[in-house]
A = this chain, B = another copy of it.
Amino acid sequence: MNIPMATKPHDRLAAALNSDLEAVDGLIRARMHSDNAPRIPEVTAHLVEAGGKRLRPMLTLAAARLCGYDGAHHLKLAATVEFIHTATLLHDDVVDESEKRRGRPTANLLWDNKSSVLVGDYLFSRSFQLMVETGSLRVLDILANASATIAEGEVLQMTAATDLNTGEDVYLKIVRGKTAALFSAATEVGGVISDAPEDKVQALFAYGDALGIAFQIADDLLDYQGDSGATGKNVGDDFRERKLTLPVIKAVAQATPEEHAFWQRTIEKGRQEDGDLEHALSLMAKYDTLNATRTDAESWAAKAQAALAPLPDHELRAMLHDLAAYVVSRLS
């Protein structure tokens, strides 16, 4: 599943969707503007212009183009999903008390928690206005349900992530909330706005869902095996933040009583000491859970590729196919 760097599918998608993406950027800038509250574009620009990959808007644009859409509502929906994504990042940073995002200080450190909470709310409301403008109740229904899944997943993560009984099934719910629900909504609304036949809409949903899961599992794996320079995060952030992710869940499932006590102390009780991260990594190595996690991510990427079958044979479909391989290629 290796893809040479020169032909990153993400860059090829961006090139193929270039004029649409420029229109989306214009729309995002226009809708961030606020006469009353100049703090809003200030905080948002920090995130939106921080080298975000525009992955979610590209999914919507590609889905609509693949289904032959020739209107302008796909631009609004692409801006909608980027606003929702940015809003959740702002709220996540408050919740996680993170200090770095995409390699830069987070908005809550540069400004304050208040700005992150309120500007996040503002972006949600702006996204809501944008989607209402499409006049499609089905689109609104999809995005309302995605919002609920996202919010419920976040709360679930908060309560379940430090509970050692959390298994792979609950992890999957959290991952759908954190990532896959917005990916699948992004692709599905692209099909719906194009009035695509139901099998194609379902294919787009299934692709976004599997791609999002592959993406998030890969992200959680990189937290333990990536290097800070490439990911913009510190290795072991999830461990320090007592967030159970797949590599640890797999190690907990096989733990000896002594190892279980270690996980209880460090994750459930949060009493961490020097050397704990190294010990946690050695337990993951003992049970080979990083490789097992990579296999899971690759299997979801393969599901995403298979889901594309009902869609028309088109250069964008080929790029989406390659994109699924690419999100897990970071792992090898």
Contact = CB atoms under 8 A, between A and B. Distances in A.
Given A113-B94, A137-B132, A159 B125 contact: no
A129 interface: yes
B34 A118 contact: no
Given A91-B121, A147-B125, A152 B113 contact: no
A124 B118 CA distance: 13
A124 B122 contact: no
Contacts of A91: 117-118, 121
Interface in A95-146: 95, 113-115, 117-119, 121-122, 124-126, 128-129, 132, 135, 137, 140-141, 143-145
A25 interface: no
A30 interface: no
A180 B9 CA distance: 49
Contacts of A132: 137, 140-141, 144
A44 to B, nearest CB: 11
Nearest to A140: B132
A39 interface: yes
Contact of A118 (B115, B155, B173): B155
Interface residues of A, number: 42
Contacts of A152: 34, 36-37, 40, 122
A50 interface: no
A152 B125 CA distance: 9
The secondary structure that dominates the A interface is: helix
B137 A37 contact: no
A154 interface: yes
Given A113-B113, A132-B137, A141-B132, A118 B148 contact: no
A238 to B, nearest CB: 16
A54 B143 CA distance: 28
Contacts of A173: 36
A196 interface: no
Q: Which of A38, A129, A141, A152 has the most CB of B within 10 A?
A: A152
Interface string A252-294: 0000000000000000000000000000000000000000000
A151 interface: yes
A321 B185 CA distance: 45
Nearest to A130: B144
Interface in A20-51: 34, 36-40
B40 A119 contact: no
B122 A155 contact: yes
A182 interface: no
A156 interface: yes
A327 interface: no
Given A34-B155, A36-B156, A129-B145, A95 B124 contact: no
A156 B122 CA distance: 11
Given A118-B154, A154-B118, A155-B34, A125 B141 contact: no
Interface of A: 34, 36-40, 91, 94-95, 113-115, 117-119, 121-122, 124-126, 128-129, 132, 135, 137, 140-141, 143-145, 147-148, 150-156, 158-159, 173
